[in-house]
């Protein structure tokens, strides 16, 4: 098998470029991942709050149907 200097230099250059670019890209990737986690946490919190509000409405409706306690929020 012959040694091809051009192929060797291309491979070496690709490896060196990967290391050089990786050092600069990693901080950007960490920032993007951080922002994605913050967004996911915010969305999850809002979904949980909306779910609790919906469950409160259903509980109030169930209490009215079953003839339970009067709605204290409406009279306040």
In a domain, 3, yes or no: no
In a domain, 1, yes or no: no
Contacts by 23-31, CB closer than 8 A, 24 or more apart: none
Boundaries of domain holding 49? 27-67
Mean pLDDT over each residue of the chain, to the nearest integer: 88
- Give the pLDDT confidence of 5-25 residue by residue, as tens digits: 999 999 999 999 888 888 888
Q: If you compute the radius of gyration of the chain from its CA atoms, what whole number of angstroms results? A: 30
In a domain, 33, yes or no: yes
Q: How many domains does the chain have?
A: 1
In a domain, 75, yes or no: no
Looking at the predicted structure, is the pLDDT value of residue 73 above 60? no
SS3 71: coil
């Amino acid at each position: 098998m012959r040694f091809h200097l051009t192929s060797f230099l291309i491979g070496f250059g690709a490896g060196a470029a990967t290391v050089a670019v990786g050092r600069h890209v990693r901080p950007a990737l960490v920032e993007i991942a951080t922002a994605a986690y913050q967004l996911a946490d915010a969305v999850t919190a809002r979904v949980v709050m909306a779910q609790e509000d919906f469950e409160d409405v259903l509980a109030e409706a169930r209490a009215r149907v079953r003839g339970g306690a009067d709605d204290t929020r409406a009279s306040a």
